[in-house]
Amino acid sequence: MLICADVVALLFALWASYALRYAMWTPDLTLKRMVLGLLAPAIAVPIFIKMGLYRAVVRHLPGAAIWTVARAMVLATLVWVIVVFLLEMAGQGIVPRSIPLFYFVIGTFLIVSSRFAVKRLLTGTLGMQGGKRPVLIYGTGPSAVRLVEALKGDGTRQVIGFVDKDPEHHGRDLAGHRVFPASKLTMLIDQYDVEEIVLSMSSISPDIRHEVISEVTSLGITARMLPDIADIVEGRYIVSQIREIELDELLGRSFVPPDPELLREVLADRVVMVTGAGGSIGSELSRLVAKWKPAKLILFEANEYALYSIHRELSATRCDVVPFLGSITDKAAVRRAIIRHGVEVVYHAAAHKHVPLLEDNVLEGIRNNVLGTLTVAEVAFEQNVSKLVLISSDKAVRPTNVMGATKRWAELIVRQKATEAKALGRAQIFCAVRFGNVIGSNGSVVPLFKEQIAKGGPVTVTDPDMTRYFMSIPEAAELIVQSSALSVSGDIFLLDMGDPVRIGDLAENMIRLAGFKVRNEQNPHSGIAIQVTGARPGEKLFEELFYDRANAKPTRHPKIMTADAGVIQQSRVTEALERLTDALRREDELAAKEILFSFIADREAKAA
């Protein structure tokens, strides 16, 4: 079809050239002119075939095809002129010199315009638009233009236009679509019934991106993000695969790239053991460790299926990964794992972390979180493990629940072992890393909200004014490992969690990210409602990372600080541990809980 269309177009171009040259609509069609006219497409079509003009899929024809057509027409015209010159030398007539020029210009225009007209019919506004979702694109960068081209062949979305804050772009056309000011966003949504907005802002600063995401998600339509160009190049996405906006992007956390030297220093060519390797933090730590080529990675986990899952995942890496099924409260198992494999570094992530569950299971929480940490620390001390890193929690600061109190005890135990190692002149390092909630971790509020939204609501919050700190699991894992490289033993590192997030705002943002409206007094008949259930036992209205913010000291990493350890140095936990162990042996929950909290309160009172 294209060849036939091109033959007709070239014959028309030659007729139009003669008509222009002689200023008449019906120039004389002599036999010689007809022969020369038929030679033009006969010469051009083989050249077009050779230059690939018939290989391109017209629906996806790029703009650069114009220059390919122009080059093909230049070559076709030159060959035709040579043939005409040879015929003139044989006495077969003369072709005016202006004819080849007219032929080239008109022929190029007809060939190009015919192809792009067909492309427009197949993919543009003249094609079938029924059932397509109206989409706005926020941003005017190169990625946004490529997205428009990709969506034209998508068949499910129709691009209405671009939105941008830069006034230089307002009113201009980009890739065939108008660029509107951001101030008209609400008007555009109402006017065109826009159901989705895609943000193309990978090169924009995090602050501006956070501002735009917050603005867009408050409009009650589906908001998605165009993947970063690096992700597309590495194959994690294709240009037409629009990803969901991640919650941490909405929280506006600034990202600091990890220091490769810190990671390499503590992981490369080391035998590393991660306790709780199947949990959310433990599994991410294990993935990070495996990337840095340790001599061996020991996955220590009590949950059989969790251990199987993470071991199967990491078995595909080049790292020597060893699964070890056992509990941190089993001293013989911990000792066996460390001795058998010659463990040099331990990341102690195993713990019970669910606040309400531990309020109902006090004895098990203490046995696992306190005595389990004591077991791991004692065996590491005995076997001269070079480094032990405790994964702690912001709930350890002035704890009001069992989970937080057990984590504070774990910090004190690790500090005590650091003091003992220093007294014996050992180079062993014992430290703790304290941080808040991680997005998507087991038992976190985020997966619960997602599940409730998927069911149509309501989303339950204990208190909308409650605030919590959040960070992503990969960021937490990277900062934990970097903290361990900075330790000189006995440190409690504090990760910069940014600003605390109001739980009510978090619930509303997650509802909007899912493409729903929040049902409230202003919108009583549609959307997903937020239901307040009241605070649970042991829950604090707000969490803290510091006992005293003024005493926190910076480190060489901008996201890592270290706490003043003066309070811990005065702690003597041995006697308190004996009393706590005795209460557990007697299964006296009230006594165990009283010892758990009174010891911490006594340490804080002495510090004050």
What is the 3-class SS of 406-457, one letter each residue? HHHHHHHHHHHHHHHHHHCCCCCEEEEEECCEEECCCCCHHHHHHHHHHCCC
Task: Give the 3-state secondary structure of 325-376.
Answer: ECCCCCHHHHHHHHHHHCCCEEEECCCCCCHHHHHHCHHHHHHHHHHHHHHH
Average confidence (pLDDT) over 406-429: 91
Q: What's the half-sphere exposure (Cβ side, CA atoms, 13 Å) at 367?
A: 16
Most confident of 59-68, 419-428, 515-524, 526-535: 419-428
pTM of the entire structure?
0.64
How far apart CA 465 and CA 99 sit, in angstroms, is 81
Residue 313's CB is within 10 A of a number of other CB atoms, namely 14
CA distance 148 to 516: 25
Confidence of residue 125 (pLDDT cuts 50, 70, 90): very low
Is 243 a residue whose pLDDT tops 50? no
Per-residue pLDDT reduced to its tens digit, 485-526: 888 877 888 887 777 778 888 888 777 777 677 887 777 777
Higher pLDDT, 290 or 533: 290
Beta strands in 140-252 (DSSP E): 157-164, 173-174, 177-181, 196-199, 222-225, 243-244
Which helix (H) or strand (E) covers residue 531, if one does? strand 528-532
The Cα–Cα gap between 129 and 132 comes to 6
What six digits make up the tokens of 431?
């430290």
Pairing of strands 459-461, 467-468: unpaired
Predicted pLDDT at 4: 87
Across 28-32, 145-149, 229-233, 428-432, the highest mean pLDDT is recorded for 428-432
Sign of CA dihedral 68, 69, 73, 76: positive
Query: Where would I find the H helices in 492-543?
Result: 503-513
Q: What are the distances in angstroms from CA 448 to CA 253, 284, 331?
A: 22, 20, 35
Burial of 243 (0-12, 13-18, 19+ CB in 10 A): middle
CA dihedral sign, ordered 544, 547, 548, 549: negative
Domains of the chain, earliest start first: 2-123 (no CATH), 133-245 (3.40.50.720), 260-607 (3.40.50.720)
465-483 average pLDDT score? 81
Nearest residue to 39 via CA among 2, 93, 105: 93
Report yes or no: 133 and 139 within 8 Å, Cβ to Cβ: no
Tokens of 397: 């600061």
**Which of 138-152, 194-208, 359-373 is predicted most confidently?**
359-373
User: What is the signed CA dihedral for 552, 553, 557, 559, rounded to 10 degrees?
Assistant: 20
CA distances from 45 to 5, 53, 79, 99, 105 (A): 11, 9, 12, 19, 17
Q: What pLDDT is recorded for position 66?
A: 80
pLDDT for 236: 43
CA distance 380 to 1: 78
Determine the number of helices (DSSP H) and then strands (DSSP E) in the chain.
23, 23
What six digits make up the tokens of 371? 């005595």
Mean of per-residue pLDDT scores for the chain: 79
Would you say 568 and 415 are in contact if contact means Cβ atoms under 8 Å apart?
Answer: yes
Calculate the CA 326 to chain-centre distance.
33
pLDDT of res. 222: 73
* Residues 165, 200 contacting (CB under 8 angstroms): no
Which of 152-161, 326-335, 346-355, 574-583 has the lowest average pLDDT? 152-161
